[in-house]
Structure 1
């Protein structure tokens, strides 16, 4: 990896590492291993790591405003308190379906995507979960509800339904996402768009599953940077560190007959750009 600036933040063999999220209060990076039902944390200053087992497969874990975590599980949305106590906020079991990616909107609501274990093209969804647990369906039919993010002015929302090979963009009014349209399309042979993050310039960074790369698209949808990776299946990316300048990249080894030794590790590209502060879940 010499010459690229890329480094290994956490050497791990996660089956399906996902959802890196910076927690500014804890000064740590939170990420999950979906199928191992584990939430990982990493402090880049001290090197301290923690691993917590969850009740079920976990698609995303985000900080809560009052401490603890909100988690997107197989059967709904769960809350961990600062003391580690668990309770369901939304319990909505549908056999064959699980929680996938999630992101907290500027107003503190959780936007959560789902998918079917068998990858059926009509088995997933995108919903908004208010802090009180009210669920509002946004896209009731998608294949794989994935990368979600907002522009710096909070007027646009980005979303990925992975098999479409597109990053889509919506107009956003603080609560509703409307007027869906393509923002960028990943060409055949370059992999599939997975998780994304938006930087302070309004550019969208996206991890390419089976594409061994992370791409940056400017606010007008133009491709302006490609970061090649040693692993085939990067899953998501997020800016972290005290100044939000380091790009963390989660990766997976699931389904690979001969995974690279770093597949499943958490990678980091120091001083990649400038991220935006996240919002904690208000529930």
Structure 2
């Protein structure tokens, strides 16, 4: 039943070449999982972290040694696992209806999670799904609502976007920021921390909100990019990551594509065609080669024939390196006083 319900989420949502760029290379660096989300690059440690939503596992991959390890979270699903600043081997985890602190050194499958008490009140069919830390170290995370009747369906505009502050004493402050969202898949802050790019995948749009970093509040929004105005690109908008000049790199689920979008005039500068069809989460890192984009992917809705036909493994993490630009780093959770 769990697989069927999550298949609904992602249904709602050979040669490698780049238009306009001729010098990148792509590599597959991890074993495949079902759906990669919440990619996090820790260049100090030389590792990436990510979750498989379906298996409810947190993964660690060393881009120096190539070793990949994982630990199981005792829930039906997991939406995010983000390292905590100043607390080595500790992560803030969002899974099902709950938040927890995971202690895990990444050397084996033995992790220990402590559930946090919160006043987060979710519908019984609502789950925490995708999240990132903001520049002040708060967790921003969306929820999805999946009804388990008539075979299951996603409730349109049945989710929300929350900002969550975790304190050093493990008390938690929860603030609802947006109502009536369906599937939050992309979050990214500009280099000056004054704007938030936001993707609710079924809308086919990237919204740009005014953002107050001190208060953690959202102001007015505008449509930054509307995929309905670019009919030559297939798929649905999913994960995003930003360059230092605030240009946006957007993954298109079911579109085999990354789009590089100019922050000033909102136009597509470049299109990267990927060897797999379902890119998900994106993150920048130094990697083995400087200026690398890490690309999570999924395989949930693909048939065995489709998987066997492709020499690349959907569900793996890929790297796109030698980019002629620098991206904004992954941000850690910071525990407040």
Give the C-alpha shift of residue 55 in structure 1: 2.2
* C-alpha contact 2:283 2:329 (8 A) present in aligned 1: no
Asked if 1:75 corresponds to 2:75, the answer is no
Query: Within 2, Cα distance between the matches of 1:148 and 1:62?
Result: 14
Give the C-alpha shift of residue 128 in structure 1: 0.2
> Which structure dedicates a bigger proportion of its chain to strand?
1
Query: Within 1, Cα distance between the matches of 2:125 and 2:114?
Result: 22
The total of aligned residue pairs comes to: 282
RMSD: 1.9
Give the C-alpha shift of residue 87 in structure 1: 1.6
Pick aligned residue for 1:151 from 184, 187, 190: 190
The corresponding residue for 1:38 is: 57
Q: Secondary structure at the match of 1:163?
A: helix
* C-alpha contact 2:16 2:274 (8 A) present in aligned 1: no
The corresponding residue for 2:227 is: 186
> Which structure dedicates a bigger proportion of its chain to helix?
2
Structure 1 residues 211 and 183: alpha-carbon distance in aligned structure 2, compared to 1, 3 A threshold: same
Give the C-alpha shift of residue 72 in structure 1: 1.7
Cα displacement string for residues 188-216 of structure 1 (whole angstroms, at most 9, x for unaligned residues): 55210111111112111111111111111
The corresponding residue for 1:51 is: 70
Asked if 1:129 corresponds to 2:164, the answer is yes
TM-score for both structures, normalised by structure 1: 0.93
Q: Secondary structure at the match of 1:201?
A: coil
* C-alpha contact 1:196 1:236 (8 A) present in aligned 2: yes
Give the C-alpha shift of residue 236 in structure 1: 1.6
* C-alpha contact 2:81 2:92 (8 A) present in aligned 1: yes
Gaps of 5+ in 2: 1-14, 18-23, 106-110, 147-152
Structure 1 residues 63 and 176: alpha-carbon distance in aligned structure 2, compared to 1, 3 A threshold: same
TM-score for both structures, normalised by structure 2: 0.79
Asked if 1:268 corresponds to 2:288, the answer is no
Query: Within 1, Cα distance between the matches of 2:293 and 2:330?
Result: 14
Asked if 1:85 corresponds to 2:112, the answer is yes
* C-alpha contact 1:206 1:236 (8 A) present in aligned 2: no
Query: Within 1, Cα distance between the matches of 2:296 and 2:123?
Result: 27
Query: Within 1, Cα distance between the matches of 2:141 and 2:290?
Result: 24
Gaps of 5+ in 1: none
* C-alpha contact 1:101 1:195 (8 A) present in aligned 2: no
Q: Secondary structure at the match of 1:253?
A: coil
Pick aligned residue for 1:109 from 126, 133, 138: 138
Structure 1 residues 206 and 88: alpha-carbon distance in aligned structure 2, compared to 1, 3 A threshold: same
Query: Within 2, Cα distance between the matches of 1:216 and 1:77?
Result: 33
* C-alpha contact 2:129 2:184 (8 A) present in aligned 1: yes
Asked if 1:7 corresponds to 2:27, the answer is yes
The corresponding residue for 1:234 is: 279
Task: Find the structure with the greater CA-based Rg.
Answer: 2
Give the C-alpha shift of residue 230 in structure 1: 1.4
* C-alpha contact 1:214 1:228 (8 A) present in aligned 2: yes
Q: Secondary structure at the match of 2:202?
A: helix
* C-alpha contact 1:244 1:277 (8 A) present in aligned 2: no
Give the C-alpha shift of residue 252 in structure 1: 0.6
